[in-house]
Amino acid sequence: MNDIRLSKWRFHYGDCPEAWYKGFDDNSWEEVAVPHDWSVHMPFSREYSSGTGYLAGGIGWYRTEFCLPEELKDKRIYITFDGMYKNSQVWCNSYYLGKRPFGYATFRYDITSQAVFGDAVNSVSVKLDHRDISDSRWFTGSGIIRKVVVTAEEPVHTEYNGIFFTTPEVSKEKAAVKVFTPLVNETSEEAEVTLTHSLVLKDESFLSFRTELSLSAGERREVTLEDCLPSPKLWSVKEPHLYKLVTEINASQRNGSLISSQNYETMVGIRSLLFTPDKGFFLNGEPLKLKGVCIHHDAGCLGAAVLPSVWLRRLESLKEMGCNSIRMSHNPHMPELYDLCDAMGFLVMDEAFDEWENPKNKWWNGHNVYPPRHQGYAEDFPQWHERDLTDLIRRDRNHPSIILWSIGNEIDYPNDPYCHPLFETMTGNNDKDKPAAERQYNPNKPNAERLSVLAGNLTAIVKQSDTTRPVTAAVAFPELSTRIGYIDTLDVAGYNYKEEWYEQDHGRFPDKPFLGSENSHSLDAWKAVRDQEFIAGQYLWTGIDFLGEAQGWPIRGSYAGLLTTAGFQKTSYFRRKSFWTDKPFVYITTSREDGENGDTSDNSSREWKEMFRSYHYLPGEGIEARCYTNSDSVELFLNNRSLGRKAYDDSLGYISFIFPFEPGELKAVGYEKEGGQQNNVTDALSTSGAPCGLRLECFSPCEESLSCNKEFIKSILQNDGLLLKQIEITVTDEKGYPCLTDSTLLSVSIEGGTLLGLENGDLADTTEYASPVRRAYYGRLLAYAAAAPEEKTVLTVSGSGLKERSITL
């Protein structure tokens, strides 16, 4: 049987204690599509937590029904939830299945004994409780935020997430292949089992190996098979070749009659990875700097109910920038995102927790605005951490993209909550804006030495399920953590914003690999990685703006990203691209010279000056044009008149021109150093006219981003459950030139489909996400729409003074 995707549900906001019962009448409930996040359908209000984006939580109930064919009566039936936030309780046909507090966990229930078949209807009820909305430092969402699937398996099968594919030795000539498979016989008789593994690439089998064994009734046995694959296609960031591991389990009685036949398919990659203390990171024996970004799991107006195609668009943009690695901050993300990283060639740091047995500060009235609150995962950590961590490792360990397991983020943040007597001898160990009592030793707070014990235990849990990848953590306070044994428990030391300690601690821990697990966007932070061979890489905070961790009303999210919540590229994106890519390019940005957008008195402050992708100022006004480029020099032209040619300045990270504003066109031309020849990269920026038009473009992935895994990526997107379309809307002048300073109120309507949401990237815009009206932000707006599968879908956009425009999806 094919998996049954449970996408259509009924939803009730608020408690409904009788809704667990199969015969409960839910006809008055709202019909919703899962994944579903009820928080983003609520109004923003400063009455809620700034940490979670000023959006409501509460209690919610979901119910759905499905049928199972009669021929499945002898099978094992399971229901799998990829993520429900949070405190889930589940019933099937009025039978209570269990609870799971952790909202990011993927888990399943065996419903074989509860299921009914044929014309009989199965009922599933889910209760979620997210009343403690200050339980996180970022937006979590509320609801069944990831997909739900019902599956059937034969009675002789492998354990859930049991298959484990590894490649102990890898070269271009051959790869040693090892597959671990825990087999289970849930019949009442002995079974003769043939276990076969095949490696398939583009529908051609390249390797097949098998074994035969007997399993008594009720027996569980672990089986490991090994073989060698000649001339393997290696998985890399540039050519992420994926094989399909087909596992076949045939079970027969002693007389030869077939009991069952079960197949599993697992996408795998053949690659080697190595972190070294002196030379950094190696992939397939070649050195590689990790050019990474941290991401949270939301997508603006979609909240936490994100579909794979949204991530495809975002990852495609990050890849073009030169990013080759993703840190899954600070929790397990949706499974399809890891599939896309496999298929597109991203390396992944997979992170489990943001707090352990003691809660961190959670901000209610703005980031670092006291007093904090202290709800969160710490309440569940003692009982659930081993299961949650183990489930994460076993779910994700076959992804070739994953190179690191992170057991925690900034658990050692000083006085939040852990403390230590050494604080009395340390300065600068905490945020200067905190109250004095929060910046000194407090014997009543948990002792930081406990961290080394906890970290050791968590590392051991990881190693029980995977010894092929190193364990790390994002360390906030290495000044202390290197003295209390915390760093010693980690295979790789990850430092957050502590580049100044790299060299010294490398000397103190000569056998320990180091990387920047979270870093600022500064040029100096990049140089600390670029210019020191032993540092494996860095992860910028962040790659994409996100909801929550807000500074204070009405700002409801973080602007820390290189992409907005709408996935649009900021000017800082192109600055980073100039650091991280070799493909020649040049990009013009402008701002007023007078420092209105930032003090320009020195390089460090000039670095953070806000620059704009527009050329629209007052006549004669002093203008700075910054060219972000990886060319050796750039010549700038204003209305075909040269303003000079300047060499790239590595102390600035850009090329700057100062001149009085004159309307028209700026054009930048890049040159190579050798011979001073033009390298055929140019960019132009023109003064736009009055806004009067609209441009609508529906996102379509470029062939390059699909790489060598086009069919696999298509299968991921087809599993959306919706025909999701992403329409980029741009306000233009009469010549079609973008008006990137415009903020016209735009209205969006749709025929034949469903408008899922509008996102402009403006985190100060408190318009309800459910509204079909939203202002353009810097001249742009993104619409998410679900196209109708069997009829024409037309999306129409209008705004005051603008010519209405439609697009057929």
Q: What pLDDT, in 10s, does the model give residues 127-151?
A: 999 999 999 999 999 999 999 999 9
Q: How many C-beta atoms surround the C-beta of residue 648 within 10 A?
A: 19
CATH superfamily, with its number, for domain 4-152: Galactose-binding domain-like (2.60.120.260)
H or E, element range at 389 = helix 381-396
Instruction: Report whether pLDDT(720) > 80.
Output: no
Tell which phi-psi region holds residue 429, choosing left (phi > 0), alpha (psi between -120 and 50) or beta: alpha
pLDDT value, residue 673: 74
Predicted pLDDT of residue 436: 78
Q: Is 410 tagged catalytic?
A: yes
Gyration radius of the chain's alpha carbons: 28
Residue ranges in 680-776 assigned as alpha helix (H): 703-706, 710-718
Give the pLDDT confidence of 235-275 residue by residue, as tens digits. 999 999 999 999 999 999 988 788 899 999 999 999 999 99
Is residue 29 scored above 90 in pLDDT?
yes
Confidence at 789, pLDDT banded by 50, 70, 90: confident
The mean pLDDT of 600-619, rounded to a whole number, is: 82
pLDDT at 111 over 70: yes
Indicate where the chain has its CATH 2.60.40.10 domain(s): 159-268, 583-613+615-686, 693-808
Quote the CA–CA distance of 276 and 283 in Å, as a whole number: 11
> Catalytic residue among 153, 154, 355, 410, which?
410
Residue 261 structure tokens: 């036949």
- Report CA-CA distances (Å) from 456 to 118, 489, 608: 51, 5, 40
Give me the pLDDT at residue 426, please. Answer: 74
Give the phi and the psi of residue 9 in degrees, each rounded to 5. Answer: -130, 165
Strand partners, 459: none
In this structure, of 27-31, 677-681, 690-694, 743-747, the range with the lowest mean pLDDT score is 677-681
- What average pLDDT does range 471-483 have in this prediction? 96
Cα torsion 558, 527, 346, 149 to 10°: value is: -30
List, by residue range, all CATH 2.60.120.260 domains of the chain: 4-152
Tell me the average pLDDT across 637-648: 97
Residue 604 pLDDT: 61
Per residue in 574-590, pLDDT (tens digit) is: 999 999 999 999 999 99
Separation of alpha carbons 126 and 91, rounded Å? 7
**What sign has the CA pseudo-torsion 191, 196, 197, 202?**
negative
Asked if 29 and 10 touch (Cβ cutoff 8 Å), the reply is yes
pLDDT at 420 over 60: yes
pLDDT of residue 428: 56
pLDDT in tens, 645-660: 999 999 999 999 999 9
Count Cβ atoms below 10 Å from residue 621 Cβ, excluding itself.
Answer: 12
Instruction: Read off the pLDDT band of 427 (50, 70, 90).
Output: low
Q: Is 518 an annotated catalytic residue?
A: yes
DSSP lists the bridge partners of residue 727 as 698, 783
pLDDT at 258: 85
Mean pLDDT check: name the lowest of 363-372, 403-412, 435-444, 609-618. 435-444
The proportion of the chain whose per-residue pLDDT surpasses 90, expressed as a percent, equals: 89
- Give the pLDDT confidence score for residue 120 in this predicted structure: 98
At 666, phi and psi to the nearest 5?
A: -95, 135
Please give the share of the chain, as a percent, with pLDDT higher than 70. 97
pLDDT for the residue 662: 96
pLDDT score of 660: 97
What's the CA angle centered on 556, arms 552 and 558, to 5 degrees? 95
Average pLDDT over residues 33-50: 97
Q: SS3 helix, strand, coil % of the chain, rounded to 5?
A: 15, 40, 45
| pLDDT(409) > 70 | yes
Task: Determine the Cα–Cα distance for residues 518 and 329; give it in Å rounded to an integer.
Answer: 10
Whether the pLDDT of residue 2 is over 80: the answer is: no
Overall average pLDDT of the 404-415 stretch:
96
Can you give the pTM of this predicted structure? 0.96
**DSSP string over 327-369:** EETTS---HHHHHHHHHHT-EEEEE--S--SSPPPB-SSSTTP
Q: What confidence tier does 433 reach under pLDDT thresholds 50, 70, 90? A: confident
- For residue 192, count other CB atoms closer than 10 A to its CB: 17
Say which CATH topology domain 159-268 has. Answer: Immunoglobulin-like (2.60.40)
Candidate from 709-723, 736-750, 788-802 with smallest mean pLDDT: 709-723
Q: Residue 197's closest CA among 219, 171, 164, 151?
A: 164
CA 651 – CA 648 distance, rounded (Å): 9
Q: Which residue has the tokens 């994700």?
A: 396
Question: Which band of pLDDT confidence, cut at 50, 70 and 90, is reported for residue 598?
Answer: very low
What is the C-alpha separation between 342 and 650, in angstroms, rounded?
A: 34
Q: How confident is the model at residue 597 (pLDDT cuts 50, 70, 90)?
A: very low
Tens-digit pLDDT profile for residues 727-742: 999 999 999 999 999 9
pLDDT of residue 608: 87
- How many angstroms separate the CA atoms of 502 and 538, rounded? 12
Residue 379 φ then ψ, to 5°: -65, -30
| Dist CA 797 CA 463 (whole Å) | 54
User: What integer pLDDT is reported at residue 435 of this predicted model?
Assistant: 81
pLDDT of 498-550, one tens digit each?
A: 999 999 999 999 999 999 999 999 999 999 999 999 999 999 999 999 999 99
Q: Is there a contact between 545 and 564 (Cβ–Cβ < 8 Å)?
A: yes
| pLDDT value, residue 418 | 94
Higher pLDDT among residues 355 and 673, named by residue: 355
The catalytic position among 518, 549, 593, 635 is: 518
Answer whether residue 189 shows pLDDT above 60: yes
Q: Is the pLDDT of residue 676 over 90?
A: no
What phi-psi label fits residue 256: left (phi over 0), alpha (psi between -120 and 50 degrees) or beta? left
The β-bridge partners of 76 are: 153
Is CATH 3.20.20.80 correct for 324-543? yes
pLDDT grade for 599, boundaries at 50, 70 and 90? very low
Contacts 24+ apart (CB under 8 A), 434-437: 434/368, 434/370, 435/370
Q: Collapse the DSSP code of 582 into the 3-class scheme (helix H, G, I; strand E, B; otherwise coil) and give the result.
A: coil
Residue 254: the pLDDT is 85
- Token representation of residue 132: 């403690």
Predicted pLDDT of residue 441: 84
Residue burial 283-304, b: 16+ Cβ < 10 Å; e: rest: bbeeebbbbbbbbbbbbbbbbb
Q: What is the mean pLDDT of residues 421-445?
A: 77
583-613+615-686 is classed CATH 2.60.120.380:
no
As a whole number of Å, the end-to-end CA separation of the chain is 32
Q: What is the pLDDT of residue 707?
A: 75
Asked: is 693-808 a CATH 3.40.50.300 domain? The reply is no
- Spatial contact of 399 and 341, defined as CB atoms under 8 Å apart: yes
Position 468 confidence tier, pLDDT thresholds 50, 70, 90: very high
User: What would the two tokens of residue 462 be?
Assistant: 């990881």
Task: Write out the two tokens for 652.
Answer: 């600035």
